[in-house]
């Protein structure tokens, strides 16, 4: 019996990267996992297949989080497969933006739509589906609190907004014993960071030097922290910002 046996989880942006790592971990621990994706259905099906191959249960749902009404679309898809939710992980996000001198209004609007508007309205429409004692984990970023990186300003701004959302939502849902926390990864080895880590001879070395632990994180390492917060062991942690940067902020 896994720690999440009998529970249902939804992970947005779960077709690859950190989201896939979280979905696979929750599935391995017994949860039935809704694997959300925006456009890459093949990758989402691969995540579902990986969870099922490990003995878990999962299903894929699609919603373009940039679109108006995306949250309603997501829940309509979810309701076709499940009648309630225990763990919600808001992971989907646009991971970088151009400098202020170059970014367009369209790009700015898109990153805020996916990274801020979508989690807000997913919760607005999903609170009645979230069972008492449930868990909400929002995937933030070390950039929300680390030294300024002006070339990625708009992205960092979205994560700051998400952290406020976690803090304030914890006060709303706490009466139902639902915890809400932000998890903030640093540089994680995914396809989103491939150019940074592997695009030059010393990319990995420079990234690893930022961490007090002298390394680059993996999706599994972020997933372990999410799994703790989503478990019974994390029941007395809420409204918190959890640093999962490997000590990059120290």
240 given a catalytic annotation: no
CA distance 108 to 115: 11
Tokens found for residue 81? 């497969």
Catalytic residue among 15, 141, 170, 211: 141
Count how many Cα atoms sit within 13 Å of the Cα of residue 155 in the half-sphere of its side chain: 18
Instruction: Tell me which of 15, 37, 140, 211 is the catalytic residue.
Output: 140
- Determine contact, residues 162/137, Cβ cutoff 8 Å: no
Range list of H helices, 129-193 = 153-173
124 annotated active-site: no
205 is catalytic: no
Q: Which of 15, 37, 159, 170 is catalytic?
A: 159
Query: For this structure, is 182 an active site residue?
Result: no
d(CA 4, CA 30): 5
Phi/psi region, residue 30 (left: phi>0; alpha: psi -120 to 50; beta: rest), is left
CA 192 to chain centroid: 14
Distance CA 215, CA 212 (A): 8
Active-site residue identified among 15, 37, 155, 248: 155
Please identify every residue annotated as catalytic. 140-141, 155, 159
């Amino acid at each position: 019996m896994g720690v999440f046996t009998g529970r249902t989880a939804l992970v947005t942006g779960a077709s690859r990267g950190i989201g896939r790592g979280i979905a696979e971990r929750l599935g391995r621990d017994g949860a039935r996992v809704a694997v959300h994706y925006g456009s890459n259905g093949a990758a989402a099906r691969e995540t579902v297949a990986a969870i099922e191959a490990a003995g878990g249960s999962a299903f894929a749902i699609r919603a373009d989080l940039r679109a108006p009404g995306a949250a309603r679309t997501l829940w309509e898809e979810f309701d076709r497969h499940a009648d309630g939710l225990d763990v919600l992980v808001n992971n989907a996000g646009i991971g970088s933006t151009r400098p202020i001198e170059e970014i367009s209004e369209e790009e700015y609007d898109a990153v805020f739509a996916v990274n801020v508007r979508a989690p807000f309205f997913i919760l607005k429409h999903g609170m009645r589906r979230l069972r008492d004692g449930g868990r909400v984990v929002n995937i933030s970023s070390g950039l929300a609190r680390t030294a300024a990186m002006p070339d990625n300003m708009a992205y960092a701004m979205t994560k700051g907004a998400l952290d406020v959302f976690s803090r304030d939502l914890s006060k709303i849902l706490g009466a139902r014993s639902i915890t809400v926390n932000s998890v903030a990864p640093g540089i994680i080895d995914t396809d989103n960071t491939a150019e940074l880590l592997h695009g030059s001879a010393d990319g990995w070395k420079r990234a690893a030097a930022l961490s007090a632990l002298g390394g680059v994180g993996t999706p599994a390492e972020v997933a372990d922290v999410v799994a703790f917060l989503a478990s019974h062991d994390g029941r007395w942690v809420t409204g918190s910002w959890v640093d999962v940067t490997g000590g990059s902020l120290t």
